[in-house]
Amino acid sequence: MRSLSMLSVLLGAFVWVATAAAADLELGKKVYEKKCASCHGADGKGNAKIEKMLKTRIPPLADAAAKTDAELRKLVAEGKKPMPSFAKSLGKDELEAVVGFVKALAAGKVAGGK
């Protein structure tokens, strides 16, 4: 009986973590679509029209797979010309969520948005 109780607790914790992770990815996707996709493209491969207009190369987000979460958080928060800083426009949860989404998109674990 004790083993069954422990199994129930572990299964419940797993379901809670999986649900929280899915919610974080959904929030990250919403933030990405609103703040990032116009330049980085829905699929993370960049927007050729924006690149031409800004006269710069927008690296594909596949490059983000090699970066740590901390490096990506810093990049999104502080920006890097011509990318603006999002420190003031994103809350901590949104920043964490969009970093998670970008990593998942870069790894091919989720599909891009619109």
CB 73 within 8 A of CB 99: yes
* Confidence label for 53 from pLDDT (cuts 50, 70 and 90): very high
pTM of the model: 0.77
59's tokens: 């690296």
Could you tell me how far CA 108 lies from the centroid of its own chain?
Answer: 12
Q: Which CATH architecture has domain 24-106?
A: Orthogonal Bundle (1.10)
CB 98 within 8 A of CB 35: yes
Q: What is the pLDDT of residues 58-104, one digit of tens each?
A: 989 988 889 999 999 999 999 999 999 999 999 999 999 999 999 99
